[in-house]
Structure 1
Amino acid sequence: MKGLFVTFEGAEGSGKSTQIKLLEDYLKKKGKRVLVLREPGSTKFSEDLRRVLLDKRNGFLSEKTELLLYLAARAQLVKEKIIPALKEKKIVLCDRFQDSTLVYQGYGLGLDRKVIELLGRFVSEGARPDLTFLLDIPAQEGLRRAGGASDRIQERPLAYHRRVRNGYLKLGSENPKRIKVIKAKDIQNTQEEIRKLIKEFLLKHL
């Protein structure tokens, strides 16, 4: 039996980090071994790239440079953390993965999504999410919750963030078995819905 790879996706201000922490606590109380990761990040190299990618002073980065840096961060995370954890039969909870790249750099920036998919498969080494929670929130509300343009991505125009949200919803409609779209309501109700869905998934697959 392999581990379980669960990803959380959503636009800015959707509350992913909060929900991941609550789910981590819940699963650990149930006796599960859990590893929480984030993209880009969770390795020294990937965290270095995160700082580069989010720094407002790096607005000169081209769209393709941005894409390749995200993919480099993912390649290291997969090799260093995700694959070993899954081999140890842990539950991996990851804040963003390939869906984010498809949406932010594909739908958001207009890069070729087929190329993004191909490169994503290359760097992921077969690591694919078993289950994805997509926390949906209108772009303007999400940016308000996030507290304004605190990094290079958040300061992009509202139209960009609307494309991101629409891209997420399209992915959700195309992959309903894996991607569970959840309206980003209040924290408690959102968490209850997540727990219900993951309990159902665990009963069927583990």
Structure 2
Amino acid sequence: MKNSKTILIDKNPGRNSQTYGIARELGTDLALIHEPSVGVVGNKGDSQCYIGVADKVNVIHEALRARIGTGPGEMPMRLIQPEFTIATSDGIRNGTREMRYSLIGREIANDALSEHLSASGLEGVIAVVACDKPPVGTLAAILEHNRPAIIMSDGSIRPGTDSVTGESIDLITAYQLAGSDDEELKTRIAKEACPGYGSCGGMFTYNTMQT
């Protein structure tokens, strides 16, 4: 990091005051506010795809904070607070007018993260991604920023279990029942196919990328 070309926050007292303030709130060493920055980012949205992201981001953030400092074996870096991009759910909106907002979520994630990475002078970032479009936008922004990064998946949702037959079921099972005239069956499978949280349990964009 000694050869970093990133323009860091200069030593103007007004800017220092705000930077000291956030460092104090984050519980990091005030002496490190002019060191290269590192941080965590994640994708957040309105479906179960994103529910686990914030917890993972916070765990990683705390792990970084424990490693940052001026002592032996510690990383002399400025830790910034976690940032999140917004997104929508493909699965919930499939076949509706609102599905038109799904694909542009890729560009929204890309633009937001590009702005964050550049404006924060991040020399390293860890990203937790979920659902279909935000991971692509996140990856593109990180590649454009061209700094060390780790991208981790929040993970796929576990399969459900049909309470009547005991068979393993998932989102695909529910989709395949669209033409059935058995309303009770369709309701039961819809309720039981996606337990817990995680990204869609099928070989869609997200799981294909992770594979």
- TM-score of the superposed pair, with normalisation by structure 2: 0.42
**Structure showing greater relative contact order (alpha-carbon pairs closer than 8 Å, 6 or more residues apart):** 1
- TM-score of the superposed pair, with normalisation by structure 1: 0.42
